[in-house]
Structure 1
Amino acid sequence: EPGTFDWSPFIQHVCKIEGRGEPWQEKERRLRGRLRRILPIDVHRPDPLGSPLCPPADALLSAFCLEAVSPDRATFARALGHVGSLLRPGGHAVLLGALGESFYLAGAARLPVVPLAEDDVRGALAGAGFVLRRFCSYAMPPALRTGVDDVDGVFFAHAQKPMEA
């Protein structure tokens, strides 16, 4: 719709990386055709969508979100458990996030972030009942430090909700 966020530069970049020669407009059309709905979510509520998700999701992705909306580690862990409730047994969670970040700038606003360590993320996943399948972290190279935050690194975690007994 007019005035909404323009994703075309990102879609163009993905097409370039994939190297299949696919026109970015075609990929954008297919993606828009697959989008079913956008739901408001409050990760601090035990039922983040306001009612159970039926059917539960096969997978969820959180990219630099939970640590940005959580004032402390305990709240981050609870939020992770809340969003995990949206998954079916055996469902997958993919998390990308910041390590050691305490703020980021959005224009003139300085927004707080809970500074997480690897052990905080691993502990929160275990506490939420997930089985950790893969965890990677990377130090932020000096060349990528732009001054919009104080991030030390990033993490990638793939975790799975256990099958019910």
Structure 2
Amino acid sequence: MDSTTHTFYPIHGMDSRKHLDAYYSNKEDMVFAEDSLKFPMANLHYQLSSGRVEGTLLIDISVGSFIHHLYSASNSFKKIVILKFREKCIMEMSRWLHDRTGAYDWSHTSSAAAELEGTRDQLQEKEMRLRSSIMQILKYDFEQENITSPVLLPLADCIISAWLLEAISQSEDEYMKNLEKVSKLLKPGGHLLLIGTLDATYVVVGEERLHCFKYNEDFVKNILGKLDFVIDYCAVQRRRNVSDLTDYNAIIFVVARKGP
């Protein structure tokens, strides 16, 4: 792999299973658990269990094909629609959704979710609840004005977007444009839960070094303000691992309310 060459997720995609193994698995050599698993799950549980973020419909538009960030969402929202860019990610998630042979093993995250909620005796129920909450898995296209075209979704009460915008944006203007398209799927007064990496320029998946748009905390806050979002909560965790697979400095978690 040429260390100076970065592929671009919207054009080149990535191996979704290798992405899960490297950053979200339960393997002994997976060093990102504190940042990619525990930090977002704890913050999502805290925010969603508080009752401050609630409603009927939640849309998830995140990179890759992970599901661990949706356990808490399935406690608060009856309907979840998942949007994915790549067909391979849709296939990976559908395999888990329908409990098919070869589905990815997420038992380490259902256990973590149960521990957060104090319901360790209900592990099977947690996965069943999440599966029953997922109404659709759709493909999106940011080149379209309606990114889910030809499907027209009802406006969501809440949107979760994890590690996506930095993967599909190459400039400040493009990041803002992409975030604006995401926000069009959200009701006025609805909440955006945004998870991302600060100061990252690349992430390695298998043999590919994928581009990341580099930004900092102030940039996120300024962009949200320009799009008429009010930030209700922001948490930043400094990087907790040592690895050359990616070069981010911190993880950010933001809860922002859409203005009228």
Aligned with residue 251 of structure 2, among 151, 154, 163? 154
Q: Percent identity?
A: 31
* Cα distance in 2 for residues equivalent to 1:62 and 1:157: 10
User: Which has a greater percent of helix?
Assistant: 2
* Cα distance in 1 for residues equivalent to 2:182 and 2:160: 10
1:59 paired to 2:158:
yes
Runs of at least 5 residues in structure 2 that lack an aligned partner in the other structure: 1-99
* Cα distance in 1 for residues equivalent to 2:119 and 2:102: 30
Relative to structure 1, the CA distance from residue 140 to residue 83 in structure 2 (aligned partners, 3 Å threshold; closer, same or farther) is same
* Cα distance in 2 for residues equivalent to 1:31 and 1:102: 33
Alignment of 1:7-46 (within 5 A): 7-46=106-145
Please report how far the alpha carbon of residue 23 of structure 1 lies from its aligned counterpart in structure 2 after TM superposition. 3.0
Deviations 1:75-99, CA, capped at 9 Å, x for gaps:
1111110000000111100001000
Tell me which moved more, 92-101 or 117-126: 117-126
Please report how far the alpha carbon of residue 118 of structure 1 lies from its aligned counterpart in structure 2 after TM superposition. 1.1
TM-score between the two structures when normalised by the length of structure 1:
0.87
Instruction: Answer whether contact 2:166 2:175 (CA < 8 A) is retained.
Output: yes
Deviations 1:112-146, CA, capped at 9 Å, x for gaps:
100111121112212222122222222214xx122
CA RMSD after TM alignment: 1.8
Residue identity opposite 1:81 in structure 2: E
* Cα distance in 2 for residues equivalent to 1:125 and 1:45: 22
Runs of at least 5 residues in structure 1 that lack an aligned partner in the other structure: none
Relative to structure 1, the CA distance from residue 68 to residue 140 in structure 2 (aligned partners, 3 Å threshold; closer, same or farther) is same
Equivalent position of 1:95 in the other structure: 194
Relative to structure 1, the CA distance from residue 98 to residue 61 in structure 2 (aligned partners, 3 Å threshold; closer, same or farther) is same
1:140 paired to 2:239:
yes
Tell me which moved more, 110-119 or 42-51: 42-51
1:107 paired to 2:198:
no
Please report how far the alpha carbon of residue 6 of structure 1 lies from its aligned counterpart in structure 2 after TM superposition. 3.1
* Cα distance in 2 for residues equivalent to 1:44 and 1:122: 25
* Cα distance in 2 for residues equivalent to 1:69 and 1:61: 16
Instruction: Answer whether contact 1:45 1:82 (CA < 8 A) is retained.
Output: no
Deviations 1:10-51, CA, capped at 9 Å, x for gaps:
212222333323331221112111111111123454321125
Instruction: Answer whether contact 1:90 1:162 (CA < 8 A) is retained.
Output: yes
Relative to structure 1, the CA distance from residue 156 to residue 112 in structure 2 (aligned partners, 3 Å threshold; closer, same or farther) is same
Instruction: Answer whether contact 1:94 1:159 (CA < 8 A) is retained.
Output: yes
